[in-house]
Amino acid sequence: MSRNHPGGPVHPVEPHTFAGGDLDRSAHLRSDPKRIAELLEAGSSRFLPFRGLDPLVGTEPEPDLGWLPRCELDALVDVESAALFLGLEHDGARFALAVPETVRDGDLGSRAYAFQGVREVAPLLAVPEASIVALGRSLTAWHATHGYCSKCGAQTSMAEAGHARRCTDVQCGTVQFPRTDPVVIMLIHREGLCLLGRAIRTRRYPPGLHSCLAGYVEPGESIEEAVRRETWEEAGLKVGQVRYHSSQPWPFPSTLMIGCFAEALPGEARIDASELESVRWFTLVELREAVERWDEARALRVPPPLTIAHQLARAWLLERSG
């Protein structure tokens, strides 16, 4: 949900899914191997297993993260070399930990636990827990794909308690850090109408689904420049004013969605057929119905509330209604 601020941008009252975390990341501890070793051994420390990129979740009575003590994981994985330090809670340290694909749902913990897809479970979790999932999933995905040095090709090893990887070739020693890829996502509007697009069918969009235009920010490009370029490339429209709304971590695997409102200048929309199946202008009434009936298979609907695209549409409606 969002609140309207006359004369200024619309800000969300509640953070987007995956945002709003309150974990103390304690970045200063990452470079203190002795302290991290102590935390790995501490009885109060808890570990969140990821199978593939799916977190362990308690399913009863309500979904929550499946934090486990180290003693339940030592037989499955080398905790010392694989645990990724997330931060500190009031009652102890928190780590993420990739476990083998062979681990079954019932193999861990004494409660009803299951590994669940992030898209499905994140909206059901408390705000701070969904934020932790985003952090743990992004780190886990990055380590799974950066086992070799980008400079010399030698193997890398984990460093900085899981927040870096270092080349094992002593003559190279290159250190890599996890990256976050910025993506602009914009609700294009003009004269009380908004522009939504439908991705090509190979993207497996459900029937009737339309969304905001979006694209990666390129090197040497500002947010505003990226909004204007992507809108021109995908829809053939020039953009005037660009107004920032909010951002959302999006751990698939690790992007930052930068939400904006962008006012289109006069001109006819045209599509980039390699990206979009169609684009069209929608009225306030049409958009309101698409937001309210987002989970129904019909002629027009927007992505689910999990996404910043949904929240941009909702905020734009609220801004117009006052």
Residues 104, 228: one domain? no
Model confidence pLDDT, tens digit, residues 167-199: 999 999 999 999 999 999 999 999 999 999 998
314 within some domain = yes
Model confidence pLDDT, tens digit, residues 239-272: 999 999 999 999 999 999 999 999 999 999 999 8
Model confidence pLDDT, tens digit, residues 270-322: 998 888 999 999 999 999 999 998 988 877 899 999 999 999 999 999 998 86
Q: What is the 3-state secondary structure (H, E, C) of the chain?
A: CEECCCCCCCEECCCCCCCCCCCECCHHHCCCHHHHHHHHHCCCCEEEEEECCEEEEECCCCCEECCECHHHCCCCCCHHHHCEEEEEECCEEEEEEEECCCCCHHHCCCCCEEECCHHHHHHHCCHHHHHHHHHHHHHHHHHHCCCECCCCCCEEEEEHHHCEEEECCCCCCCEECCCCEEEEEEEEEECCEEEEEEECHHHCCCCCECECEEEECCCCCCHHHHHHHHHHHHHCCCEEEEEEEEEEEECCCCEEEEEEEEEECCCCCCCCCCCEEEEEEECHHHHHHHHHCCCCCCCCECCCCCCHHHHHHHHHHHHHHC
Give the residue-averaged pLDDT of 208-219.
Answer: 95
Model confidence pLDDT, tens digit, residues 92-145: 999 999 999 999 988 887 778 999 999 999 999 999 999 999 999 999 999 999
Residues 317, 229: one domain? yes
149 within some domain = no
- Whether the predicted pLDDT of 233 surpasses 80: yes
At 202 the pLDDT is 58
At 8 the pLDDT is 40
137 within some domain = no
143 within some domain = no
Residues 190, 316: one domain? yes
At 61 the pLDDT is 84
Q: 99, 131, 163: which is the final residue of a domain?
A: 131
Q: 101, 131, 161: which is the final residue of a domain?
A: 131
Residues 119, 207: one domain? no
Residues 309, 191: one domain? yes
Q: How far apart (Å, rounded) are the C-alpha atoms in residues 15 and 11? A: 9
Residues 67, 186: one domain? no
For residue 224, give its domain range: 180-321
Total number of domains constituting the chain: 2
Q: 131, 153, 171: which is the final residue of a domain?
A: 131
160 within some domain = no
At 322 the pLDDT is 67
164 within some domain = no
Residues 73, 190: one domain? no
Residues 190, 310: one domain? yes
Model confidence pLDDT, tens digit, residues 21-33: 999 999 999 999 9
Residues 55, 122: one domain? yes
206: domain CATH number is: 3.90.79.10
Residues 185, 312: one domain? yes
> Taking the mean position of all CA atoms in its chain, how far away is CA 289?
26
Residues 85, 211: one domain? no
Residues 126, 237: one domain? no
Q: In percent, how much of the chain has pLDDT > 90? A: 83
Q: How many CA atoms lie within 13 A of 94 on its CB side?
A: 22
221 within some domain = yes
Q: In percent, how much of the chain has pLDDT > 70? A: 94
158 within some domain = no
At 9 the pLDDT is 41
- Whose tokens are 């102590």? That residue is 38
